[in-house]
Amino acid sequence: MRDSIHKYFQIGTIQWMSHPKYDILDSIKMIACDDFFDAIEISKFNDDETRTKAKKLFEQSGLKICYGAQPRLLGPKLNPNDINEEGRKAAEATLIDAIDEAQYLGVKGIAFLAGKWEEETRDLAYAQLLKTTRAICDYAATKGMTVNLEVFDFDMDKAALIGPAPYAAQFAADMRMTHNNFGLLVDLSHFPTTYETSKFVIQTLRPYINHFHIGNAVVKEGLEAYGDQHPRFGFPNSANDTETLLDFFRILKTEGFFSAQNPYVLSIEVKPWGDEDADIILANTKRAINRAWALLED
């Protein structure tokens, strides 16, 4: 592709994935100083002082700041589709708090994920997730903000209520009946974990997608990094490679997601495995992106 990828996408990275062991302010500064990145995704700050310092860095950077509330749910095991109403309300409360924190940092929306589910209570869990999502979309709308639900695996690792893609489309359609500030976040690294292809996921969810992640996964049970672990491209026995990434770009191009006027955020969600070096893994991912983009036909 002769045009730069930055013409059509705001390339970002997920800070807590890229630098899991770094001081958060050092990590933010390193990402902000790398002009490959147009965006950064951050999550909850542990104290007011760090949050204030991070905001100052963001204001200087020119980066688009995005907010992922997934760690707020995964860490304390909160479930926005909990059939226990007290548990559901606890998840809703942390997502409301996430919206406030995101607004302070200058972010225009948040992303989150559905919680675990059980077969016998699936319909009730779906209704609970609608209740939570409508509540946080109502609150976000008062601040001019959006809410994106990330589509995850349903039976491999996270075992989240939403996806696979057709189920995510059903949920998004139900949400859009009442809230136009709702959308979906799709992640290339999750496509193998839901037994789907880029073409199937993108075409199925086309009207609802607001945001993209790219990464890799190992989906052969019993092998190293199995599940939703986001290993590097080229990791042994993994599902995604440069050719997979190229196919993903082709589908996005065909489906009209290349937008020079209003580019989508496309973020790296790759983390070092074991004792791998975080900076080398980040550089590895940038090389994979550059190679796949170079092979993309104009």
Per-residue pLDDT reduced to its tens digit, 46-92: 999 999 999 999 999 999 999 999 999 999 999 999 999 999 999 99
Helix (H, G, I), strand (E, B) or coil at 227: strand
Query: What is the pLDDT averaged over residues 271-289?
Result: 97
- Indicate the SS3 state at residue 91: helix
Q: How far is CA 136 from CA 111, 176, 186, 268, 277, in A?
A: 11, 14, 20, 26, 37
* Distance from C-alpha of 38 to C-alpha of 278, rounded to nearest angstrom: 19
Average pLDDT, rounded, for the chain: 97
How many whole angstroms from its chain centre is CA 71? 11
Q: How far is CA 237 from the centre of its chain?
A: 23
Confidence of residue 190 (pLDDT cuts 50, 70, 90): very high
Asked whether 104 and 55 are in contact (CB, 8 A), the reply is yes
- Cα first-last separation, the chain: 5
Q: Residues of the chain with pLDDT > 70: what percent?
A: 100
Tell me what pLDDT residue 278 has: 97
Burial (Cβ within 10 Å: 0-12, 13-18, ≥19) of residue 123: exposed
Average pLDDT value for residue range 8-22: 97
pLDDT of residue 24: 98
Whole-angstrom distance, CA of residue 213 vs CA of residue 223: 23
Residue in 27, 3, 64 with CA at minimum distance from that of residue 266 = 64
Q: What is the mean pLDDT of residues 270-280?
A: 97
Q: Is residue 171 within 8 Å of residue 149, measured between CB atoms?
A: yes
Architecture of the structural domain at 5-295 = Alpha-Beta Barrel (3.20)
